[in-house]
Amino acid sequence: MKRQHIVAGNWKMNKTFEEGRNIAQAIADGLPESDTIAILATPYIHLSAVSTVVQQKLNLKLAAQNCHQAKSGAFTGEISVDMLSSVGVEYVILGHSERREFFGENEELLAQKVDIALGNDLKPIYCCGEGLAIREAGNHLSHVANQITGGLFHLSPEDFSTVVVAYEPIWAIGTGVTASPEQAQEMHAFIRQLISDKYGEEISDATTILYGGSVKPANAKELFSQKDVDGGLVGGASLKADDFLAIIDSF
């Protein structure tokens, strides 16, 4: 099965309601219909409004930036998978480095979130990646392997087949420093081999693996040309419609 090309924009905690609706519409207006899937991962206040925008294009989808591991309950400030599904969300980002660092999320918790997302027909975009100290110590491969094994490898082959993996070197997120195409390819090939060892070559070959970390129009084409890089999880550049569309056009 051919792997999907995906460019997902993670708005993080940015954009007022009106700003978010405007940028989503600008992206929808400028997005050519193609095999490349564009995903908008917005703050919660935008999801309902942006849901009506993404319906204008078959290759434009909506994502949440997180979900809670429980179906419902007394969890003030959290959001459930049922709530997300009710406003048309199809994807959910899980395990972003900022969630791991600032909110203490670990693989045990993320495995629960992956399970509840899949149980509600949401497709996880599962993030992994290493910090600078781990990279410099030469432990980046084993670190990422532990993140993927702990958060995903309890899944059945059928469930794993719906997961998108996003590799984000933490030292390149929001820093302006980008992993070289060779560094990105090395890690993506390693992740794909890890998946192959667990689930077989067919599932591995069909798994979309995104690169995230200061992706911008100037470097997207070279990054996306690597054999095992299937697209990007884009932060700052997704907040400008022209930049986000230019990254999508890199395919």
Residues whose CB is less than 8 angstroms from the CB of residue 60 and which lie 6 or more positions away in sequence, other chains included: 27, 28, 31, 37, 38, 39, 40, 53, 54
- What's the one-letter identity of residue 203? I
Q: What angle do CA 52, 88, 64 make, to 5 degrees?
A: 105
Positions annotated as catalytic residues are 96, 168
Task: Give backbone dihedrals phi and psi of 31, rounded to 5 degrees, phi first.
Answer: -85, 120
Exposure pattern of 47-85 as b/e (b: 16+ CB <10 Å)? bebbbebbeebebbbbbbbbbbbeeeeeeeeebbbebbb
Tokens standing for 19? 């700003």
